Amino acid sequence: MIDTIKWTGHSVRIIDQTQLPNKLIYLDCRKVETLWGAIKTLKVRGAPALGIAAAYGVVLGIRDYQGTDTAAFVRRVCELCDYIGGSRPTAVNLFNALAQMRGLVLYNPDKTVAILKAVLEAEANAIYEEDRAVCRAMGQYGAGLIHSRDTVMTICNAGALATADYGTALGVMYAAKAAGKKFKVYSLETRPLLQGARLTAWELQKNKIDVTLICDNMAATVMRDKGVDIIFTGADRIASNGDTANKIGTYMLAVLAKYHKVPFYVVAPKTTFDLKIKSGKDIPIEERSAEEVTSFGFRRTAPEGIKVFNPSFDVTPHELISGIITEYGIIQKPFAASIKRVLAQQV
C-alpha cells in the first residue's frame, strides 16, 4: 500500500492529497507549522491519518527544543498539543493522539527532557504502527460481509490515503478482494472537495477493484436501479450511543440505505470513539470556507456574495447503522451497551 504518511527521522513525509489524482507529490513537513497547514488544507486527511499527523506534529515541535528544564518542556508540549488541536475539530483521532502525547509528559515529570523527547517520538511511532495493525484487523472482520458479485457503495475516502495502511471502509474491500471475492464498488464523488472522486476512485482503480464513480445525487437512483448490497463508510467521531460523524453526505446515504433496505456499516478503530460524549449532538462539526462551494478549482460556480453553508461532516444517527466494524470485531445493536462492553475490555 502507498505510504500516505511516514516519519523519516527528521520530517513527516505526506502525500499532498490536494494534488491527486493528477500528481503524486510527496511533501516533507519539517516544522510543526507546515504540518498544521497541511492538516488544515487537507493535504493530509482522514481521521486515523490525522491522529498520526498530530502525534508527529508534537515530535516536530520539540525537535529543536534546547532547554533542560522538564517543567518548561512539559508546558511547551502542552502548548503544541493545543496548537495542533486547533487545526480541525471533528476527527477525535487527532485529539486522542494528542491526549496520549500530553499524558506521557504530564505523568513523567521526573524524567529528563532528552528522555521525554525520545519517549514522545517512540509514542508517535507506536500510534502509527498500531493504526497499521488495526486496519488489517478491521479488514478481516468486515470482509465476511462482502460476497462475490455484490455491489458495494462508499462515500469520501476511508482508504490507504486516510490511514497508515489500507484503510477502514476500503480496507474491508481490500481484504475481501484478497480473499478472492469479485465485487463492484460505487464511489460517491463527495462534494465539495471530491475525496470520493479524486482519492477513492484513484485508490481503488490503482488497486484493481472494479469501481464506478457517481455524483452524490445519483446514490438513490443507483440503489433502486442497479441494486446495492451493502454500504461501508469510515467515521471521524463515534459517540457512546453509536451516533457517527463522517463526511457530509454520509447521513443522506444512511437515510437512502434505510429506504432501500441496504445494510449500512461504519468501519472505524477504537481511536475514533469518543466515549466522553453521549450522542452525536455533542460532536463538533467543522465548517469550511464558502469558496469550497462557490468555485470549482479556479472557476466560480456561484454568484459573488451568495450565502453559503458548508459543514464538512454530518452525524448519522445510530438507528440507521447496521453495525460498527472495529479491530475487536463487529459491534452490534444495541450500540450503547455493546460499545461499552467491547471497548471497556480493551483499555
Which of 130, 189, 236, 327 is close enough to bind ligand MRU by CB under 6 A?
236
Q: Which stretch binds ligand MRU (CB under 6 A): 45-53, 66-74, 137-145, 337-345?
A: 45-53
Instruction: Quickly list H helices, the chain.
Output: 32-40, 47-62, 70-85, 92-106, 113-143, 169-178, 201-206, 219-222, 250-259, 291-294, 335-344
**By CB under 6 A, how many residues form the interface with ligand MRU?**
19
Q: Which triple of cell numbers denotes residue 8?
A: 523519516
285: exposed, middle or buried (C-beta count within 10 Å: 0-12, 13-18, 19+)?
middle
**Residues paired with residue 313 on neighbouring β-strands, in sequence order:** 247
Please enumerate in sequence order all residues whose Cβ is within 8 A of that of 290, keeping only pairs 6 or more positions apart, or say none.
306, 308, 310
Give the relative orientation of helices 169-178 and 113-143 as an angle to the nearest 10 degrees. Answer: 60
Note whether 91 binds ligand MRU by CB under 6 A: yes
Distances (CA, A) of 198 to 28, 189, 193, 259: 22, 8, 9, 28
By C-beta, is 150 or 292 nearer to ligand MRU? 292
Whole-number Å distance between alpha carbons of 228 and 186 = 9
Which of 4, 87, 96, 195 is close enough to bind ligand MRU by CB under 6 A?
195
Whole-number Å distance between alpha carbons of 216 and 232 = 15
Which of 76, 247, 270, 318 is close enough to bind ligand MRU by CB under 6 A?
247
Note whether 339 binds ligand MRU by CB under 6 A: no
Catalytic residue among 131, 165, 216, 236: 236
Please enumerate in sequence order all residues whose Cβ is within 8 A of that of 9, keeping only pairs 6 or more positions apart, or say none.
none
**Residues paired with residue 331 on neighbouring β-strands, in sequence order:** 324
- Smallest separation, CB 59 to ligand MRU (Å): 21
Whole-number Å distance between alpha carbons of 209 and 11 = 33
- Smallest separation, CB 92 to ligand MRU (Å): 10
Note whether 254 binds ligand MRU by CB under 6 A: no
Note whether 89 binds ligand MRU by CB under 6 A: no
- Smallest separation, CB 294 to ligand MRU (Å): 18
Which of 35, 46, 60, 96 is close enough to bind ligand MRU by CB under 6 A?
46
Note whether 240 binds ligand MRU by CB under 6 A: no
Note whether 271 binds ligand MRU by CB under 6 A: no
- Smallest separation, CB 304 to ligand MRU (Å): 26
Which of 61, 192, 196, 234 is close enough to bind ligand MRU by CB under 6 A?
234
Look at residue 324 and give its three-state secondary structure: strand
Judged by CB under 6 A, the chain residues 148 through 177 that form the site for ligand MRU are: 156, 158, 162-163, 167-168
190: exposed, middle or buried (C-beta count within 10 Å: 0-12, 13-18, 19+)?
buried
Note whether 191 binds ligand MRU by CB under 6 A: no
Note whether 48 binds ligand MRU by CB under 6 A: yes
By C-beta, is 121 or 236 nearer to ligand MRU? 236
Which of 34, 246, 271, 322 is close enough to bind ligand MRU by CB under 6 A?
246
- Smallest separation, CB 287 to ligand MRU (Å): 12
Whole-number Å distance between alpha carbons of 82 and 70 = 18
**Which residue's C-beta sits nearest to ligand MRU?**
234
Note whether 120 binds ligand MRU by CB under 6 A: no
Known catalytic residue: 82?
Answer: no
The sign of the torsion formed by the CA atoms of 282, 279, 310, 41 equals positive
Catalytic residues: 236
Binding site for ligand MRU (CB under 6 A): 42, 45-48, 91, 156, 158, 162-163, 167-168, 195, 234-236, 246-247, 312
